[in-house]
Structure 1
Amino acid sequence: MNSAVQSLVISLGVMQVARKIPFDDPDVLLYTRIGYVGVQAVVLAIYYYISMSIKKKNDQTVLKYVDSPNAMTQEPGQLVTTTVRDYDLSEVSKLLRSVYMGFAMMGFLHLYMKYTQPLFMQAVMGLKGLYDAKPVQVHLLGQKAEGDLKRPWKAAPGMFGAAAGPQTDNAAVTEAEKRIGGASKKDD
């Protein structure tokens, strides 16, 4: 079962459980808030630990790939040349931004709109998102960077199909290098 379907099944199950919880009880509401903030603190701490681990390893292996093209334009993807260290740190940074955005959305939904069930749901889904994150699988769980975990990491496929990911084959990289070389020759 792919990750999107698994997330849907888990969220539907958590919604059914959340319906049975009496959130109008102040004690239950307090524990739900504590649970949500606790999960978010654990997620942030793990991402911080992973970023420190990446910096400590300092893997300077060169990584070249062609980024997936923008669907809104006709331009081909851009050539990206980076190191494994910088790539992994940028991926952890993306994960941190998603945690902060989720925290802001939950703040709006709970504090302004007075919804409580999403707190419970996001606490559970935060743990699932942590487990699904590729940097967590590689740097914390110790899985080899092979197969689906080979860098650059492809985005998780959606509900209805595969996601377009970066191209790592030599032909795509060589073609992107030629485009860059041709552009610099035109500028001269």
Structure 2
Amino acid sequence: MLTFLTAFPAAPLGAQTARFARAGVSDTLWVQTGLNDVAVNAIAINGNGDLFAGAHGDGIFRSQDNGETWQAVNTGLSNSVIYALAVFNGGDFLFAGSDGDGVFRSADNGESWQQKVSGLTNQAVLSLAIDPAGIIFAGTSLGGIFRSTDLGESWEAANDGLTSGEIVFDLMVHGNGDIYAATNAHGVFRS
């Protein structure tokens, strides 16, 4: 049973190679599960247990067998640098944040992707988070945070209280509804 999954660098600081590995909670040995020589920036798991890996220059990969085999699922992607992945409603919708082409959405388990950028004025999307109500937050490079209340069809800036031009590396939704943003120069913000 797969209980924990991560990507880790094969070489320190700035390397373009990463390994995809898995281990159980009680395991101490990591086992490489494929995607050799692929720099993996993001991972996500849907409600069916399908794994998705967003890669730096290789788009998105999907595994339906706990990482034993992977297939590229890039139909509709116009950018192959994927920094963030998020799953909504158990996998009914998948979202991918890209380097310069904004957010892509899939409604068919990654088989195809549609670009969703209306109102997204900064399209270098480094992080994504979705709250239980389905509001999507996109953290950008130098543009702060954007929010969508309609599954990515439209976006609006959500930067009240953030330092101007913030780089948002990570976003998390707390169970109490608070949103946390990790930034490159000003620490953590909460909304």
Identify whether the pair has TM-score above 0.5, normalized to the shorter chain.
Answer: no
Normalising by structure 1, what TM-score? 0.25
Query: 1 or 2, which has the higher helix percentage?
Result: 1
Structure with the greater alpha carbon radius of gyration: 1
Query: With structure 2 as the length reference, what TM-score do the two structures score?
Result: 0.24
Higher strand residue share: 2
The higher relative CO (CA closer than 8 Å, separation ≥ 6) is in 1
